[in-house]
Amino acid sequence: MVFGRKKRSKKNYKGLITLASPGSLISEQFRTLRTNIEFAMVDKNTNP
């Protein structure tokens, strides 16, 4: 069985939204989600 990678068109590639538009609402939502996940992991690491 052969698996291939879909070629990414450079004209459609816009990069990471948090780098392309750091002040946008979607960038802030990504940062909030990341922080919430990190905060949730704290409890799992401290309780054996």
**pTM of the full predicted structure?**
0.56
Flag the least confident range among 3-7, 33-37, 44-48. Answer: 44-48
Phi-psi label, residue 13: left if phi above 0, alpha if psi -120 to 50, beta otherwise:
beta
Q: What is the pLDDT of residues 7-33, one digit of tens each?
A: 666 666 677 878 888 899 999 999 999
The yes-or-no verdict on residue 35 having pLDDT over 90 is yes
Residues 6+ positions from 20 with CB-CB distance below 8 Å: 14
Q: What is the pLDDT of residue 34?
A: 93
Check if the beta carbon of residue 31 is closer than 8 Å to that of residue 18: yes
The yes-or-no verdict on residue 46 having pLDDT over 80 is no
